Amino acid sequence: MHKLASKEIVLDSFETDDFHPDIVYYSEPSMHGEVSNTTGMLSELIIEQLEFLRLKYLETNDKRYWKELVRWLPEGWLQKRTWTANYETLRAICSVSQRRNHKLNEWSGKDDPTKPNFIQWARTLPYAQYFIFDDEDKEFHIF
């Protein structure tokens, strides 16, 4: 996740054990005969665009390029997951040194606090102020 832009994006960056680059997904007649686009051509185009986004992010440090890169890589697919944690785990995740001020809006809402985010959700849990965010209230002590 944190090393996304550190390595060049090439075909070998993806699982290709059973990749068939010769599958035709689109054909169109032209004056020189039928022109076919194959999965190999498509993958080259996609990889070229992903690499462009990676290089633009490294050049400009503009988070928009990084976000698009995340969005179009397989990790950017929306998936449902079940996750179990306790307050101790949430305290670590929500700490200032971890994700309380994270650059992704999904974690901290740093760029857009109006959108739902993980830290905002964690604050709604019972006793969250005492067990997760107790470092914000210096006068509160459990013992």
From first CA to last CA, the distance across the chain in angstroms is: 39
Q: How many CB atoms lie within 10 A of CB 32?
A: 6
pLDDT of the residue at 96: 86
Question: Which residue, 38, 56, 76, sits at the end of a domain?
Answer: 76
d(CA 17, CA 33): 32
pLDDT in tens, the chain (143 residues): 467 788 888 888 877 777 788 888 777 777 777 777 888 888 899 889 999 999 999 999 999 999 898 888 876 554 566 889 999 999 999 998 888 888 888 888 777 778 788 999 999 999 999 999 988 865 555 54
pLDDT at site 127: 94
Residue 143 lies in a domain: no
Q: What is the pTM of this model?
A: 0.54
What pLDDT does residue 75 have? Answer: 60
How many structural domains is the chain composed of? 2
Task: Tell me whether residue 56 is in a domain.
Answer: yes
* pLDDT at residue 74 in the model: 73
| C-alpha to C-alpha distance for 52 and 63, rounded to whole angstroms | 14
Asked if residue 58 and residue 109 are part of one domain, the reply reads no
Enclosing domain of residue 115: 87-136
Does residue 28 form part of some domain?
yes
